[in-house]
Structure 1
Amino acid sequence: MRPVKRPTATVARRLLVAAAVLLAVSGCVRLPDDGPVVEAGLGNGPVDHPAGAHDPVPPDTGASRQTIVSGFLDAMTGWPNQINVAKQYLTTEAAEAWNPGAATIVYADTLPAQELGGEVSVELTDADRLDANRAWRGSLSPAELTLDFHLEFEDGEFRIADPPDALLVPASWFQQRFRQVALYFFDPTAQILVPEPVFVPEGEQLATSLVGALLNGPSARLSRVVRTFFPDGLDAGLSVPVSADGVADVALAGEVAMPSVEAAEPMLAQLAWTLRQDPDVSAVRLSIGGEPVPLRGGASVFDIDDADAYDPAGATTSTALYGLRRGRVVYGAPGVMNPVGGPFGTGRHDLGDIAVALGGDWIAGVSTDGTSAVVAPTTATGPRIRAVLDGTDLARPAWDHLERLWLLDRGGGEATVHVLDRGRARQIEVPGVTGQAARRLLVSPDGTRLVAVVRQDGVDRVVIARILTGPEGRAEDVVQSTVAETVGGTPQITDIAWTGPATIAVLARASGRLFEVDTVVADGASVGSDALSTIVSGRVVGLAASADEDLPPYAVTLDSVIDLEEQTETALGAPMDAVEYAG
């Protein structure tokens, strides 16, 4: 009764690309009349139109203050990426101290520069900040959109004396030259990998960029969220060559001890999952200081599929689809769903919604009136149904890989979040969710992200927060709330679902029988990501999708599911109160 995940490498498939095939499904679904269909997600291949080289112009003799500032902004768009010309617009002291690698500011446009006294002000529009690892850190506040440049007279010319420690570039320039990928670190228990989205330069040196970014390690704000097994002080050098047969040669330099076979395994797992985003890579050869890192069985290379035990979607995640039919939990494939083992598979239970643990061995159910949550196993020989929480308006629960059960009590517009951790339920504060009008909750399989739909001032928001876990697996805190998507006015978010380890599909009601489907990256980035917005027409009540990209995503109607990749609609045999994957 416990189907498990196929032991193959995850195939990069994206829900919203597949949504295009819905046009062929019995007239139930249609797409907008215009606009391209593009792939959404991380590490999804090079841009269609690679950017050409750009050689910026040094400052002219006698240039005005405004011209110097404009030239400085243009000089930062030199490509291949270089800052030598940009430094010529700075005073000697400022050029030595300037650190453009500390951050990247990506802006939509600039308003005409304004000069007042010895300063020039430039106002940016719709700007976003990336940190030193090029991870998205949010949009600039209105106050931060105005940049003031103080200029001094040096050697008879105006030069900028106080440049911001950031690379300032237009969004159009950035999107042509950078792609969003995921770096893979471990959760604090070292049991599962966690994707952290960042941006890397486009081009033929993708493997080099990926390894270099991975060696930078997680930023300080992630210190209690994820961990890396690469010690400080390692450098991949100028290049990570990839052979014709797909072997990435990662030759690290640094004064560190050679790891044992056991200690090298998590390092290789991080490399394998990070490098599999390069389609040319199928295996990794790792060396430190010119000496090969020892591998199990004396192997010389590490196949990227050998790290599937640390799959961020869960290495043993059930592949079955689960449903709630007339108070009984069923599982299987669309159209062929039979009762589960255990108490929820027999009789009729007062269940309004369910969530199945990743391994398929436990089921959590919420009563039809939302006042109680219960848990039961999926084996007939296990324990019976156990009450775990009383509430006022409980939403669908969520499980993570540590078999922690997360519950949202909507509480009449003043939500509370609870976690069943080691058999005991306790309330946990979630910024941006607790006390708000929250309706839906997700938790990533890796247990590091909590996602909720929150309505505020007539706007639906997708709020993403990070979960802090102790080394023993206890959820300690939830922090760093980020708004990743907003849907205002008539549209209303009706469901959210994981469609990959770091991507979330958002189903929003547009009007009547029309629904809009968007995808967001788990970091909430609004810049540099390809996304498809499409209109779905029909009696769609939700989404059934999984962080396991090998599992087909579905749009769920009252009595059928629509396979978004196979162009087929399958009747469920009987109306279902809930249809979903494990998680």
Structure 2
Amino acid sequence: MNGARPLALALVLATLLTGCVGLPSEGPVVEAEVAGERNEDQVSSFDPRPPQPGDSRLEIVNGFLDAMMGWPIATSVAKEYLTDDAAEEWSPDATVIYGELAPPREDGSSVTIRMRDATLLDDSGSWRGALPPGRSTLRYQLTIEDGEFRILDPMDALVVRSTWFDERYQQASLYYFDPAAQVLVPEPVFVPVGETFATNLAGALLAGPPSRLHGVVRTFIPAGLSVGLSVPVIDGIATLDLQGNAPRTSAASAELILAQLAATLAQEPSIKALRVTIGGEEVEPPGAATEYDVGSAAAYDPAATGSAGVLYGLRRGRVVSGSVDDLRVVDGPLGRKRNRFDSVAVAPVGDRVAAVSANRRRVVVARLRSPGRRSAVRTLVPDGTDVAQPSWDASGRLWILERGPEGARVLVSDDGVGVRPVRVPGVSHTDARRILVSRDGTRLVALVNRPGGDRIVTARVVLGLDGQVDRVVDSSVIRTLPGRHPIDLAWTAAAQISVLSPAGELFEVETFAVDGATVGVDTLSTMVAGKVLGLAGEPYPETPVYAVTREAIIDIRTCANLSACGERLDATRVLDVDYAG
């Protein structure tokens, strides 16, 4: 998986789509006001007011809440509202974001305030979802210290308003490796914007992955390092003088360290290359280079497989591939002979194809192309029950969803020879209808049917050092869709998915971050007219996302008039059009 395209395009996850709403009857796609459109030049500084002599309990609490929203971020003034002991112990590493505050209630020496629409970022900056009602109330106990009211027991978190957060934070990604050290894995986090953006990214990466990701990702950056005061960037070259004690790095480890740093810091557009030292010792790039080009990390990008932009489908029972206007039968066993298939999925590296039979009971795998005409067709599932379209990751693991009378069963093939069941919390034994696996193989997304509306569930895949699936953990619901029953899912960036749902006589394509974040990110909602059968998307922000109808294919990212545009498919009907994955 050598760099098929520049890392600035292939790996940057902060470029989530600008929000828009498509009008399918006439007129252009209309820009909508969305969270996440941040311009650091428009974010004004704010020096919070310290406590004043004679402040009441309510004034102290309100002053503390205001002080936590100082900008640039600093907690020195906020600590003045606390007792001396509380100020020393207060560790606001997490962040609580609220929509509104209910009127405060004073009861003796305590002040209680209920937060509306409260959500949580953990100490790594990762989105952890909505706070349950029992944790959505702020309770402050006050006492008198040196003749003034002060807070005794603050929550160990910055507590900030969502409008403040939207203007000042950006979702980006920290890059780790999968356990086998084959591919980079993006972990979305929120980082303050501004001149310290690159420094904050580097510092967060050096802190290492959170414990909940043990077995999911690994880092090659030695523990205990710090980034220092800043990451200076001169003429596109970022210099990282990492402080701390670390063993001397081998050439192999040095390359992996540089790849993690480069993939992460490439999200700062001004950075083109890195120079890195650890404890004064230079981390030498491969070859004779004096600095490490950030594009070099694309060698570990699981999306850079060389198949970007290639479409696949079925025509008259044969597998076809190519572009919208030139889909040709593949020279492989599933292209040479006509079959009755319900769906197909091509491996991201473009070497193998999995096909589900028309009765959805059988899954076969074969080489996509085999000019020698000697390639065999291997049956992976001989007698399944209502099998959905499979999903591949870039390391060649194939995931299969079987929907039986006792609920969903997830199967995985690590080697393309056999399959075995894997329990997926929140998906196994439910009415799951579709699964997708990220290109890096560490994240599973499922569409789970429920009577009142479907759910989008994500879970993390724990891999062994040999690359085989060990177990699936950390399942969570990232979207509930009241009254809606989507029919398809697609990756549209490395940490972003799109969902296709019927909406009356129209179809809606909704795009959101795969961690489920609802503030600080951009969203896209597009309405499409006509009978839409599915979505074709892949994890490149610049690749078209297609809504596929029986007769045409519509790029919902760029089409200015969805009722008038769209490219017609081949005159001979093509089914199940999709990208690899």
For the pair 1:183 / 2:174, whether they are aligned, the reply is yes
Aligned-partner residue type, residue 344 of structure 2: I
Shift of 1:563: 3.0
Q: Which residue of 197, 217, 221 corresponds with 1:230?
A: 221
Give the aligned partner of residue 422 of structure 2: 428
The answer to whether the 8 Å contact 1:15/1:505 transfers is: no
Deviates more, 1:286-295 or 1:463-472: 286-295
Aligned in 2, Cα 1:476/1:317: closer, same or farther, shift over 3 Å? farther
Q: Which residue of 370, 390, 398 corresponds with 1:405?
A: 398
Aligned in 2, Cα 1:459/1:29: closer, same or farther, shift over 3 Å? farther
Give the aligned partner of residue 47 of structure 2: 55
The answer to whether the 8 Å contact 1:30/1:537 transfers is: no
Instruction: Report the Cα distance in structure 2 between the residues aligned to 1:436 and 1:334, rounded to whole angstroms.
Output: 36
Q: Which residue of 506, 513, 517 corresponds with 2:509?
A: 517
Shift of 1:517: 1.8
The answer to whether the 8 Å contact 1:149/1:162 transfers is: yes
The answer to whether the 8 Å contact 1:442/1:497 transfers is: yes
Instruction: Report the Cα distance in structure 1 between the residues aligned to 2:174 and 2:17, rounded to whole angstroms.
Output: 22
Instruction: Report the Cα distance in structure 1 between the residues aligned to 2:445 and 2:548, rounded to whole angstroms.
Output: 20
Tell me the SS of whatever aligns to 1:163. Answer: coil
Superposition pairs of residues 118-517 of structure 1, within 5 angstroms: 118-244=109-235, 246-317=236-307, 319-380=309-370, 381=372, 382-389=374-381, 390-412=383-405, 414-422=407-415, 423-489=417-483, 491-512=484-505, 514-517=506-509
The answer to whether the 8 Å contact 1:413/1:438 transfers is: no
Instruction: Report the Cα distance in structure 1 between the residues aligned to 2:148 and 2:428, rounded to whole angstroms.
Output: 56
Aligned in 2, Cα 1:65/1:407: closer, same or farther, shift over 3 Å? same
Instruction: Report the Cα distance in structure 2 between the residues aligned to 1:480 and 1:180, rounded to whole angstroms.
Output: 21
The answer to whether the 8 Å contact 2:38/2:166 transfers is: no
Shift of 1:290: 2.8
Shift of 1:126: 0.6
- Gapped runs of 5+ residues in structure 2? 560-564
The answer to whether the 8 Å contact 2:341/2:356 transfers is: yes
Q: CA offsets, 1:209-255, max 9 Å, x none? A: 211111111111111111111001211111111112x1111111111
Aligned-partner residue type, residue 35 of structure 1: A
Tell me the SS of whatever aligns to 1:403. Answer: coil
Number of residue equivalences = 568
Shift of 1:402: 2.0
Shift of 1:576: 2.1
Shift of 1:318: 5.4
Aligned in 2, Cα 1:581/1:10: closer, same or farther, shift over 3 Å? farther
Instruction: Report the Cα distance in structure 2 between the residues aligned to 1:28 and 1:444, rounded to whole angstroms.
Output: 34
The answer to whether the 8 Å contact 2:60/2:150 transfers is: yes
Give the aligned partner of residue 88 of structure 1: 80
Shift of 1:349: 0.9
Deviates more, 1:91-100 or 1:294-303: 294-303
Give the aligned partner of residue 577 of structure 1: 575
Aligned-partner residue type, residue 486 of structure 1: T
Instruction: Report the Cα distance in structure 2 between the residues aligned to 1:533 and 1:477, rounded to whole angstroms.
Output: 34
Instruction: Report the Cα distance in structure 2 between the residues aligned to 1:376 and 1:184, rounded to whole angstroms.
Output: 33
Shift of 1:29: 7.5
Give the aligned partner of residue 553 of structure 2: 561
Give the aligned partner of residue 35 of structure 1: 32
Instruction: Report the Cα distance in structure 2 between the residues aligned to 1:28 and 1:327, rounded to whole angstroms.
Output: 34
Shift of 1:523: 1.4
Deviates more, 1:409-418 or 1:451-460: 409-418
Tell me the SS of whatever aligns to 2:435. Answer: strand
Aligned in 2, Cα 1:160/1:451: closer, same or farther, shift over 3 Å? same
Instruction: Report the Cα distance in structure 2 between the residues aligned to 1:170 and 1:19, rounded to whole angstroms.
Output: 24
Q: CA offsets, 1:321-370, max 9 Å, x none? A: 10111211000111211111221002221210011011111111111121
Shift of 1:61: 2.1
Aligned-partner residue type, residue 578 of structure 2: E
Q: CA offsets, 1:10-46, max 9 Å, x none? A: 52696854977x77xxx7786676734x698xxxx85
Deviates more, 1:405-414 or 1:392-401: 405-414
- Gapped runs of 5+ residues in structure 1? none
Shift of 1:548: 3.2
The TM-score, its normalising length taken from structure 2, stands at: 0.93
The answer to whether the 8 Å contact 1:354/1:364 transfers is: yes
Deviates more, 1:121-130 or 1:63-72: 63-72
Q: Over the residues paired in the alignment, what is the CA RMSD in angstroms?
A: 2.3
The TM-score, its normalising length taken from structure 1, stands at: 0.92
Q: Which residue of 62, 68, 76 corresponds with 2:60?
A: 68
